Structure 1
Amino acid sequence: MFKQLQKSFVKSAMLSFTAVLLVVLVAVNVVNYRQTVNQVDRLVTMLVNNDGTFPDAPEGGMAPKEHPEHGMPKGMEFRKDDQMATRYAVVRVANNAVQSVDQSHLVSLDETALKELGLRVAQGTASQGWEGSLRYQVAKTDAGTMVVLVDANKETQQISRLMMVTGAVFILCLAVVYVLVRLASNRAIRPFVENVERQQQFIANASHEIKTPLAVLSANTDLLAMMGTEAKFVDSNKRQIKRLNSLVEQMLILSRYDEGEAAATKEEVDLVAVTKAIVEEILPVLNEKELQVEFTGEAQTIITTNKSAMTELIRILLDNAMKYTVGEPVITVEAKRNQLAIENETEPMTKEQVSQIFDRFYRVDSSRNRTTGGSGLGLSIAQKIAETNDVQLTAELTSETQIRFVIEGEKNG
């Protein structure tokens, strides 16, 4: 149980940290990308507004932030170095033909490639976008169409580098936090584990202590019977002693499964074969109660699990069905490839009652359970068996008076 709690603690902490860190790193990269693209777009817009040329800047100085006469966007400023470092080209298109290409500031592409690229962009529907690492913008002029292309290779490389750095930071942080969480998890869950262990030890000790007086009461009841005590009182005592013994055994079983340790041996188990074997064992009880078990569906339901655990689980479900079947005296067992369903007619129930049916000591009808001798622990034990053996156990209403328990395991083959 300690290992399971530790795994759950580490998993929850890591998922929370991963989600927060991922959001932060994605936000950083998105903001950086948008700022970089906006910066390039301002430069492209400035070139478009200045008819495809770079406005002169003061030598070694800073151009004013607004140059209406140069068509510069508001807030745009540049140095002489920026003018010389910017790699751009201008392609002018008219009547679906390239009229001119200015590539004096972009010599990495030949003129033919620029013509093809400029013509394709001019004939497209987008006013701006990307062509590889080139950021372009299309503008209509009196003479036709002007396509301005700015080489943003340096900016895209910076974006890629930041993504790689943040990715490395993400992995490193996850590794460091995982180690720290693993170390901290022992101390964090220890008080809870100790509390649960004390409760389990108390149940075990109390159960063993109760067994002794029950044995004495059973012996005294037998003695009273031999002394001629009225049969109805003797029978009542025996029923209550039997009920208490059953309750003690169930509490011990539940305490064992609370430890969360699944059975070590796992194999391919045919749930249909297991169910038929149990039905053969309980046939005298079924005949006494005038009940029938009908098998429908496939001939086999094979899952990988522990056979003895599944035998105990199915026995509990059949016992529950025998106790609480009303109306039509039939218990239906339906088999599918990886499912086994046990269904019977019962007294009217609500979905809320079914949702609580696996709770400990829960009774849909306490008076009815007194009659049948139910303790309210059987289905809780069944659920624990399923949980500790990687099997799903669910309950559902197929109608107001028809309840269905489904055992589902992983598919084989």
Structure 2
Amino acid sequence: MNLIKKLRRQFILLATLAIFIIVAGALGLINMMGFYAMREHCLDTMTYITQNGGTMPSRYHPSDTASWGKDFFPGITWPEDTPEFAYQTRYFSLRLDSSGRITAVNVKNIVAFSEEQAVEFARIALASPSGSGFLQKNKARYGFMKTTLEDGSTLLVILDCTREFSDVHTFLSYSVWFGFFCIILYVLIFAFLSKRAIAPFVKNLENQKRFITNASHELKTPLAIISVNAEAMEMMNGKNQWTEGIIKQVRRMSGLISHLILLSKAGEATRAQLQFLSFPVKDMFARLKEDFDLLAKDQGKKLTLSAEDGLTARSDEKYLSEILHILLDNAVKYCDDGGTILLSAEKGKKKDTLRLSVSNDYKDGKDLDYSRFFERFYRNDESHNSKKTGYGIGLSIARELSFLLSIPLTVEYKDGRIAFVMIVKTK
């Protein structure tokens, strides 16, 4: 059933969205923490080099500098805790006097820069307004730290952080793929188990539809007997307000039963049962006019048609005609006294489309909540004291049938007229 498939898709979609938010949030937080820990590690290393006058001793003492990562992850062995760390660290430093003149350059611990290249790259770091940060040269990443010493001179330390950035980037790539794999696996498992999850709802819906169908058929017999008896009483005793009231309410109940059956069948129908054929729109309009022209005239309203010759629609004519039948019934019912109902067809804005609309004068429709018009059993007059007869399910049936035909059905209000619009394909 279309409703069950739609429910299952929405169920899977919402579950997928939830797991995506959880996985993305968790992996995003982990990667942010990893990047922040890497950044603090580079800054700590540059701080230690600065404290030692621009050079790193052969033995690094990590306790001399604070480390966010070590405070957050106690007990872990970090690279700077090993004897080889000082020899693995690639950096260079420059000292400038108070006038900004370079007085010393140390490039002993790096091979990517000569003294001239180091000075040229250092000028970029010195031009930065911040005291520390990161720069990129080709594919390499370098951290820098500027420190003003007590004698007014400036010490600049530039550290090669390429490996650290590469590790963070690699972890990010693996985490993205891991998260993507987890989401796909979750969706597959959830899609497999979703049938069991919605099984109670499906069973309840099937029982509900079975009850509506059976009850509707069972009610038809006593209603027919009541109607026949009321008509017999009229024949014997003549018409009176009691027999007319009985017959009127019997017809109303029969109409409600027919609508309930149609609504139930609309939810059970599938596109495989439809017959999509091309047919002339004017012929269908002529048949609809025959059904509603007299009804409109009896209520002092006017029904008009507007359709060019040669316009065709490609759809299931039976169901499309049923939608228009419901919309016309609604239009005649709610059209202002002396107003006009217009059934029109014109070429759509997109190629090979047709715009079908049913509109009517409706001066009281300016401030209505049109988002609720297609809800089952919804009526604008909730007091049920309106003189307009109806059950509040006609538009709901029209929407169900439009979903079945894959035709968007919308409602709009402009210049005192309400219009229900459908965009139908012509090929």
Mapping of 1:2-401 within 5 angstroms? 2-55=4-57, 57=59, 63=61, 65-66=63-64, 78=81, 80-92=83-95, 100-127=104-131, 128-131=133-136, 132-140=140-148, 145-227=154-236, 229-230=238-239, 235-259=244-268, 261-262=270-271, 265=274, 276-277=285-286, 280-281=289-290, 282-293=292-303, 306-327=316-337, 329-331=339-341, 337=349, 342-346=358-362, 348=364, 351=367, 354=370, 356-365=372-381, 366-369=384-387, 372-395=388-411
Instruction: For 1:313, give the aligned amino acid.
Output: I
* 2:385 counterpart SS class: helix
- TM-score normalised to structure 2 length: 0.77
Identity percentage of aligned residues: 24
Superposition deviation, residue 280 in structure 1: 3.4
How far, CA to CA, are the matches of 1:300 and 1:35 in structure 2? 72
Instruction: For 1:63, give the aligned amino acid.
Output: H
Q: Which moved more, 1:99-108 or 1:214-223?
A: 214-223
| 1:108-149 CA-partner distances (Å, limit 9, x unpaired) | 344444333222222233432232421122334567654321
How far, CA to CA, are the matches of 2:417 and 2:364 in structure 1? 9
| 1:14-55 CA-partner distances (Å, limit 9, x unpaired) | 211111111101111110110111111111122233331114
* 1:358 counterpart SS class: coil
Q: Which moved more, 1:112-121 or 1:159-168?
A: 112-121
Residues 302 and 338, structure 2, Cα contact 8 Å, conserved in 1:
no
CA-atom RMSD in angstroms: 4.0
Q: Does 1:407 align with 2:421?
A: yes
Instruction: For 1:329, give the aligned amino acid.
Output: G
How far, CA to CA, are the matches of 1:30 and 1:146 in structure 2? 30
State the match for 1:69 in structure 2.
none
How far, CA to CA, are the matches of 1:263 and 1:316 in structure 2? 23
Residues 134 and 150, structure 1, Cα contact 8 Å, conserved in 2:
yes
Structure 1 unmatched ranges of 5 or more: 67-71
- TM-score normalised to structure 1 length: 0.79
Instruction: For 1:287, give the aligned amino acid.
Output: K
Q: Which moved more, 1:324-333 or 1:20-29?
A: 324-333
Aligned residue pairs, count: 400
Superposition deviation, residue 101 in structure 1: 3.5
Superposition deviation, residue 266 in structure 1: 8.0
| 1:224-252 CA-partner distances (Å, limit 9, x unpaired) | 45546336655444433332222111000
How far, CA to CA, are the matches of 2:300 and 2:280 in structure 1? 24
Residues 94 and 105, structure 2, Cα contact 8 Å, conserved in 1:
yes
Q: Which moved more, 1:100-109 or 1:196-205?
A: 100-109
How far, CA to CA, are the matches of 1:165 and 1:316 in structure 2? 56
Q: 1:74 to 1:182 in 2, by over 3 A?
A: closer
Superposition deviation, residue 286 in structure 1: 3.1
Instruction: For 1:20, give the aligned amino acid.
Output: I
* 2:157 counterpart SS class: strand
Q: Which moved more, 1:329-338 or 1:292-301?
A: 292-301
Q: 1:342 to 1:126 in 2, by over 3 A?
A: farther
